[in-house]
Copies of this chain bind each other. A is one copy, B any other.
Amino acid sequence: MKVGVIGGGQLARMMIPEAIALGVELRVFAEAEGMSAENSTTVVGDYKSAEELGWFADGVDVITFDHEHVPLATLEQVERSGSSVQPSSSALQFAQNKLWMRKRLSDAGLPMPAWSEVRTSAELEKFMAENGGKVIVKTPVGGYDGKGVRVIDEPSGVDDWFAEIDKLGGSLLAEQLVDFDSEIAVLSARRASGEWRAWPAVETIQLNGVCSQVIAPAPNVDQQRALEIAERIATELSVTGVMAVEMFQTKDGQLLINELAMRPHNSGHFTIDASVTSQFEQHLRAVLDLPLGLTDMTSDVSVMVNLLGTEKGTDFLENFSDVMFRFPEAKIHTYGKSPRPGRKMGHITVVGDDLETVRSRALLAAAVISGS
């Protein structure tokens, strides 16, 4: 069993341990030398080249992803040549293009913030007037971790995007600014033959548009409703592999779909240390169309805290003695990246039975390893 992963980042890196345990041969197509998944990198190349991806695909049983940046036309070409791509381009298009996602999920009657496709500043102005004057505008393709996303209270706030609107696909996505109570994510996995399993919905806490903490399970959410939404999406779009559905929970308890990711996701890192089956093992099983593992948590609660690069470029290894001495329960995960401010460098997970204790321990451990 050979799985090829396009992208050499931390998501590919965290598939390696699971591949080793299962005896799956993992091959990584990385975009550069010395990336996070270096240990299993077999090709360094250009993921925009259908030719290079085609060669890579020929050597494995299935192609899957560490990121969502492979151009759709390139993937379709790889699929036409007979390779198995999981998730397929027909599902992945809705994770790549936020506008297509909104249209497709609207057709399916799924709950979302008010949204509109806007082609001109005038159209945007109209949407803003109807939605409280302050809205979110997104480029349909290419945004992540807050990039390609702006909160504006004047249409002129995205004049530069309208100026190059043809490059951006001809239109932008405008969305209602949801006055949410909390942000929720549901991680689940589906395999081609239809089996679907989800982990408990989690609460995610963002800082400057980047995931900062994940609390599992989410303390205040209708778990059944959250999982129903995720299952509807997975089934409607025939998603294979792990999918993250990010949702807003409004003050009156509604759940509105925010974003989709069709791959292992930051909000699911807790599963490595707090679930019978991690999202990385589950992703390998799902893309190989093998039966899925149990998604029960192995502890009452877990808190994951992202470790971001700091201005002073702290190397976590310097602080290992301190953090390990003070927090023998902390699970440390590093991504083998050189430090850069704001960059996701690793994460720490703490599990236990009391949320406040677990959370304060996780936050303190993250502060100690970051040298702050």
The interface of chain A, by Cβ under 8 A from chain B, is 1, 13, 16-17, 20-23, 39-40, 276-277, 285, 290-294, 296, 298-299, 316-317, 320-321, 324-325, 328-329, 331-336, 346, 351
Contact = CB atoms under 8 A, between A and B. Distances in A.
A293 B350 CA distance: 12
Contacts of A336: 23
Given A1-B317, A276-B329, A298-B299, A285 B21 contact: no
- Most chain B CB within a 10 A radius of its CB, from A16, A20, A293: A20
12 contacts: A16-B16, A16-B17, A21-B334, A22-B334, A23-B317, A39-B40, A276-B351, A290-B320, A290-B321, A292-B324, A293-B329, A298-B351
A298 B333 CA distance: 19
Nearest to A288: B320
A310 B158 CA distance: 66
Contact of A21 (B293, B298, B333): B333
Contacts of A325: 291
3 residue pairs, one from A and one from B, having the closest CB atoms: A17-B17, A23-B334, A291-B324
A298 B299 CA distance: 7
A294 B329 contact: yes
A123 to B, nearest CB: 48
A198 to B, nearest CB: 13
Contacts of A16: 16-17, 20, 39
A275 to B, nearest CB: 11
B293 A328 contact: yes
Given A39-B40, A317-B1, A351-B298, A293 B324 contact: yes
Nearest to A292: B328
Contacts of A334: 21-23
A277 B291 CA distance: 27
B328 A291 contact: yes
Contacts of A23: 316-317, 334-336, 346
Contacts of A39: 16, 20, 39-40
A324 B284 CA distance: 13
B17 A290 contact: no
Contacts of A329: 276, 293-294, 296
A22 B332 contact: yes
A30 B369 CA distance: 34
Contacts of A316: 23
A299 B300 CA distance: 11
Contacts of A13: 20
Nearest to A17: B17
B21 A291 contact: no
Contacts of A320: 22, 290
A340 to B, nearest CB: 16
A294 B328 CA distance: 5
Contacts of A21: 17, 331-334
Contact of A324 (B276, B290, B351): B290
Nearest to A19: B39
